[in-house]
Amino acid sequence: MFTLSEDQRALVEAARAASIAAIGPTVKQDDETETFRPEIFRKLGEAGLCGIPTAEAWGGLGLGYVEYALVLEEIARVAPSWAVCIAVNGLPQIILTKFGTDAQRQRFLPGLASAELLGAFALSEPGSGSDAASLRTTAVREGNQYVLNGTKFWITHGGYADVYVVMARTGGPGPKGVSAFLVEKGTPGLGYGKKEEKMGLRASPTVELVLENARIPAENLLGAEGDGFRVAMSALDSGRITIGATSVGLAQAALDCAAAYACERKQFDTQIIDFQGVGFMLADMACKVETARLLVHKAAWLRDQDAPYAHIAAMAKCVATDAGMSVATDAVQVLGGYGYTREYPVERLMRDAKVMQIVEGTNQVQRVVIARHLKRAYGGG
C-alpha cells in the first residue's frame, strides 16, 4: 500500500497527462463562466478514465478502487469539478455492477465506462438530504410500467445525463419503502428545473430534476422493490472514497501552488518558505495531505479486499475533505493578496473544497457513522 506498482505508476502518469491535456486549457474559463463541456468528458473516456473499476466484460478496465482513487486524485489536481464528474458517472456503474441484471448491465455499462453515456445519481430532495429515508418521490406500478412523480435536488449532470439512478418510494414510510430505478434521458415526464448558482465546482452542472407522471419500463427497476435504500447506501459508501480521493487531489494542488510560491517569493531578501510562520504552515499542510491520502488508500484497499470498509470510508471522507478545506484556505494565506485574486488557482480550490464537506453525506453524518461503529465495537449495543 505504501508504494505504487509499475502499472499503477503508469496509470497515474497517463491520468495526469490526459487531465492536463483535456481539462487544463479551459479550466479557468469554465469556472468563471460555469461551463460544462461534454467533449472533455468524452476525451477522458477515450483515455480510459471513466470506467476504472467496472469489469472488462462490461467495457471497463477492471481495476480496483485503489487505482480509481489514484486516477481521481490526478484529475482533481487539475480541476476538482471534473473529478466529481467522473466519480458521479461511476455511481451508476457501481450500482449496476452490484444490483443490475445482465440485460441492464449490457445496455448501460459499456456506454458509461467509455463515456458514450453520462450517468447521474438522484437521491436528495427538497425535504430529504441527510435523512435520505424520508424521500417523497413516488413510483407506482401500472402493468408493465412504473409511473414516477416527485422532485430531486442537487443532481450533478442534471439535463446532460443519459441515464439517472433515481430513488423513489414504492412502499410505506422509511427505508424499506424505497426502490431504485433507471430513468433515461428523453423519458416523457422527465424534466429539469433551475440550475444552481454555486460557490464552487462551477464547471459541474447541478440541476433540479422533475418527474411528472414519468413512465418507465418495469425492467428498469434495480433489484427488487424495497432494495432502493440499500442500493443508495452501498453507492454512498463507495462514493465517500471517491470524494475523499478528489479532496486529496484538490489539497495536493493547493499545496503545490503554495509551496512553489513560497520558494519564489522573497521578502527581506529571503524566500518566505524560510520564515517559520510560512514554513511551519506548509509543513502542516503537507502532513494533512499525506494523512488524508493514506486513509483514502486504506479505505479503497479494504473495499478491494471485500473487507468491511464503510466506517473507514466515512473516516477517509471526513478527514480528506476537512484537510482539503484547511489546506486550500492556508494556501490562500501563504499567497497573501495574490491568493485572493484569480491570477492563481488557490481561490478556486478553496471554493471547490467547501462542498466536499457536504456531499456524499455531510461530515457531521460521517461522524455519526463512525460513532455508531465505535458503539458496536466497544459493546454499547
Decide if 151 contacts 221 (C-beta within 8 A).
Answer: no
CB-based contacts of 306, cutoff 8 Å, min separation 6: none
C-alpha grid cell for residue 220? Answer: 428498469
Decide if 241 contacts 296 (C-beta within 8 A).
Answer: yes
Number of C-beta neighbours around residue 305 at 10 A: 11
User: How many angstroms separate the CA atoms of 154 and 258, rounded?
Assistant: 32
- Using alpha carbons, list the distances in angstroms from residue 117 to 75, 84, 236: 19, 16, 21
Q: Residue-wise over 284-294: b if at least 16 C-beta within 10 A, else e? A: ebbebbeebbe
Residue among 74, 125, 347, 360 flagged as catalytic: 360
Decide if 72 contacts 86 (C-beta within 8 A).
Answer: yes
User: How many angstroms separate the CA atoms of 145 and 19, rounded?
Assistant: 41
Residue 360 annotated as catalytic: yes
| Look-up of cell digits 461503529 | 373
Q: What angle do CA 161, 47, 13 make, to 5 degrees?
A: 130
Residue type for 99, please? F
Left, alpha or beta for 36 (phi > 0: left; psi -120 to 50: alpha)?
beta
Q: Residue-wise over 199-217: b if at least 16 C-beta within 10 A, else e? A: ebbbbbbbbbbbbeebebe
Closest CA to 195 of 308, 35, 306: 35
What are the residue numbers of the active site?
360
